[in-house]
Chains A and B, each alone.
Chain A
Amino acid sequence: MDVPDDLHYTPDHEWLRRAGDEGTIGITAYAADELGDVVFVELPKTGGRLESGSVFGTIESVKTASDLYAPVTGEVTAVNDALSSTPELVNSDPYGEGWMIRVRLDDGSAVDALEDAAAYRTRIGG
């Protein structure tokens, strides 16, 4: 299962790609595979606040519905609107076109508390 080395991960299977004081957030290929075909993604609005560990959205597949948990605290600066009409991007390209939100981090060092690729690989058993 694809776990890119340059990303940060949460135990709840979100990834974060940092660029300066901003982070892009999505769910991992492992999570997308476990969920199965994604049929609906509910995301916050641009400008909204995120609290680390709190629910920022919902993802629904043919199998189940799950909450999305914020890896960091900050302000939502962009939302991937394409997911509202083509949620399948989460399955086909979880680390690219399937991204969910972009966040301006309150504290850049919070990213250091997330797991690196090696730790996340161990978590998902490979």
Chain B
Amino acid sequence: MTIDAPPAATARGAGPALQPTLAELSRPGRGGGKVPHPPSDALDGIPTELRRASPLGLPELNEPAVIRHFVNLSQLNYSVDAGFYPLGSCTMKFNPKVNEWAARLHGFTQLHPLSPDQLAQGTLELMFDLQSELAEIGGMTAVSLQPAAGAQGELTGILMIRAYHQARGDDDRRDVIVPDSSHGTNPATASMAGARTVTVRSAPDGGVDLEVLRRALGPTTAAVMLTNPSTLGLFERRIEALLEAVHQAGALAYMDGANMNAVLGRFRPGDAGFDVMHLNLHKTFSTPHGGGGPGAGPVACADRLAAYLPGPLVVRDEAGYRLERPGERPTAIGRVRAYQGNVGVLVRAYAYLRAHGAAGLREVSEDAVLAANYLRARIGEGYQLPFGGPCKHEFVASASALRRDTGVRTLDVAKRLIDHGFHPPTIYFPLIVDECLLIEPTETESVDTLDAFAEAMLAIAREAYEDPDRVKAAPSSAPVRRLDEASAARQPRLRWSSAR
């Protein structure tokens, strides 16, 4: 395979290329033309001392130049609509377009967030149903749709746990325990909530070490945050014993639902004894992910925490659907988001749930796990697999032998993948694996795509032995070559300037 040729799009003539900025494209006097110029006496009503002394310095371009600038910039995007995106821990699955149709219906887009309940019955019904369905999926009692992302869902859950302990006069519980394989948002959540993070080392099999956890638990433990399946793509086999130990210590159990794609319809965290969890609608439920989302991270909880869920929830009474009224549930921790959260995202997730049904969701988790295990076996032909199989929805591989034998690191492999037309997987995370690659194919990719990616990975491994410098210099065909990340972090240039 020759991959020094520019990517296919270039053959079109235009191709992805870096664009000059609008300021660089600006020419004096060149304007939109379609916008009426103000009358010459427009400023007469404004006192002289309040007027600008110098022009504003906006770039001057005509409409085609502006449109081409942004369209060409957009061609530089890599998205799941453009190609395979195996970003471990992120569930970059395809977003079905029927979701977009639903979210664009006028009944949703034209609704003002302060509309009276009786004029918003359709949206409220959708939200009420979504609350119920997500509760069922989680094996929980109640759901708040407000949090705008997984990390905000985590913070919400930990604040609910804090309110629970405080309501019982149990004020000394300040510690939040997280495993060392956890997502960085877990300790960040604990800090934001005013708690102290206690990290426990994983057992050799990648799971949480029960004895280590037991020793860490005590009268100051507020909560334990677990991700199941873990960030290593492994199902926590000791979950029952772990949660029993947590509850015996008087602490509550938070489940990070980032990896629910692996267990939809098969494992309900509430059934296992978790007290509260979040669900990432932008991962598991196929709403747009990345580039700022927006996301949604609803929080689901068991009975004992339902009183503390942020309000207003959507409730149903004899008159129909309505939002909880101010003060109706005084134990609520308060709002965590303006209005009702990212409602457009909720509509997309609802469409996804309705399109799949319960049986479809079980197929999602089955296919996601099958795809991951297939790819894991193929990648294992050229890379190390530090944990025994099978995996769930994602898996950890390592380029440690490549580095030892050839000096080529995981970072180089990732950069070389760009030349092969693939978005690189997550690298150097989780931190506990040397030269780590975290790969998640999701259920939406065909076996042809999985094979093409595996072939690219194996070709890079072979190339590392034959021509390591070529791998270390990658990417060689992308619009931007290897970036100097160290200098960018040490001496960041944060302002564009024309003198460069």
Contact segment of B164-172, B274-282, B391-399, B483-491:
B483-491
State whether A39 touches B489 (Cβ < 8 A). yes
Instruction: Pick the residue among A37, A64, A87, A88 that contacts B485 (CB under 8 A).
Output: A37
State whether B490 touches A39 (Cβ < 8 A). yes
In chain A, positions 5-49 with a C-beta closer than 8 Å to chain B are 36-37, 39-40
Instruction: Pick the residue among B411, B431, B489 that contacts A40 (CB under 8 A).
Output: B489
Residue of A nearest to B485 (CB): A62
B108 in the interface (beta carbon within 8 A): no
**Please, how many angstroms separate the alpha-carbon atoms of A93 and B347 in the complex?**
56
Interface centre among B411, B428, B485, B490 (most CB of A within 10 A): B490
For B411, the chain A residues whose CB sits under 8 A away are 36, 63
State whether A64 touches B486 (Cβ < 8 A). no
Instruction: Pick the residue among A37, A39, A64 that contacts B428 (CB under 8 A).
Output: A64
Residue of B nearest to A40 (CB): B489
**Please, how many angstroms separate the alpha-carbon atoms of A87 and B429 in the complex?**
23
**Please, how many angstroms separate the alpha-carbon atoms of A64 and B489 in the complex?**
12
**Please, how many angstroms separate the alpha-carbon atoms of A88 and B489 in the complex?**
11
**Please, how many angstroms separate the alpha-carbon atoms of A39 and B487 in the complex?**
8
Residue of A nearest to B429 (CB): A64
Residue of B nearest to A63 (CB): B428
**Please, how many angstroms separate the alpha-carbon atoms of A26 and B160 in the complex?**
41
State whether B486 touches A88 (Cβ < 8 A). yes
For A37, the chain B residues whose CB sits under 8 A away are 485-486, 489
State whether A62 touches B431 (Cβ < 8 A). no
The contact string, 1 if C-beta is below 8 Å from chain A, for chain B 394-435, is: 000000000000000001000000000000000011010000
Instruction: Pick the residue among A63, A64, A88 that contacts B490 (CB under 8 A).
Output: A88
**Please, how many angstroms separate the alpha-carbon atoms of A40 and B489 in the complex?**
8
For A60, the chain B residues whose CB sits under 8 A away are 489
Question: Smallest distance from the beta carbon of B232 to chain A beta carbons, Å?
Answer: 16
In chain A, positions 39-92 with a C-beta closer than 8 Å to chain B are 39-40, 60, 62-64, 87-88
**Please, how many angstroms separate the alpha-carbon atoms of A36 and B428 in the complex?**
11
Residue of B nearest to A91 (CB): B486
Residue of B nearest to A66 (CB): B431
Residue of B nearest to A38 (CB): B486
Apart from the given pairs A63-B411, A88-B490, 16 other A-B contacts in the complex at a CB distance below 8 Å: A37-B485, A37-B486, A37-B489, A39-B486, A39-B489, A40-B489, A40-B490, A60-B489, A62-B485, A62-B486, A62-B489, A63-B428, A64-B428, A64-B429, A64-B431, A87-B490
**Pairs A-B, 6 closest by C-beta atoms:** A37-B486, A39-B489, A62-B485, A63-B428, A39-B490, A62-B486
Binding site for A on B (CB under 8 A): 411, 428-429, 431, 485-486, 489-490
